[in-house]
Amino acid sequence: MGNKNTVYLTQEGLDDLKKELDDLINVRRPENIQAIKEARSLGDLSENAEYDAARNEQAQIENRIQTIEKMLENVSIIEEVKTDKVGIGNTVSIKYIDDDEEDEYKIVGSQEADPFESKISNESPIAQALFDHKVGDVVTVESPNGSYEIEIIEIK
């Protein structure tokens, strides 16, 4: 599918990453440089907490910029294809066989995964179990807490 450095993102995830990078470079970095200048003007740097905090923030900003730039170099866009089989980029409605509860998940690349938004990583046990299956299929999910079965209700 790609080399191990490939970062799989939906178009939405790519847009979010580009927005974050733009904010880091054009807003946070200049604010941080200003904070460092102001802290430096306070004098003695050896006991200057504001200076230390600003320098730490600078390191975090620069690290995040590098991380995002590296991700963007290795990005592969997940095409959201309409298909009858589950794949990365699909939203899947499932029913847990043992308790009849239903859930809906969007399968995204690991960088975009957000359980609070029901976005699960393509590397997660549920996504792995669902891949290449159709509506009506019952699949077994191998999780750290043991295996369980789910039925595919709908693929969007």
For the chain, the average pLDDT equals: 89
Domain with 142 in it? 91-155
The lowest-confidence range among 71-75, 82-86, 105-109 is 82-86
Which pLDDT does position 1 carry in this prediction? 44
Domain end: 24, 55, 77, which one? 77
pLDDT of residue 82 exceeding 80, the answer is: no
Which pLDDT does position 80 carry in this prediction? 64
**Helical segments of the chain, H only:** 11-23, 29-41, 49-73, 125-130
Are the beta carbons of 36 and 50 closer than 8 angstroms? no
| pTM (two decimals) | 0.65
Written as one letter, the residue type at 23 is D
Number of domains in the chain: 2
- Tell me the CATH number at 103: 3.10.50.30
Pairing of strands 91-96, 75-77: unpaired
For the segment 17-43, what is each residue's pLDDT rounded down to a tens digit? Answer: 999 999 999 999 999 999 999 888 887
For the segment 107-119, what is each residue's pLDDT rounded down to a tens digit? Answer: 998 888 888 999 9
Are the beta carbons of 63 and 69 closer than 8 angstroms? no
Give me the residue label for tokens 């699960």. 120
Are the beta carbons of 11 and 76 closer than 8 angstroms? no
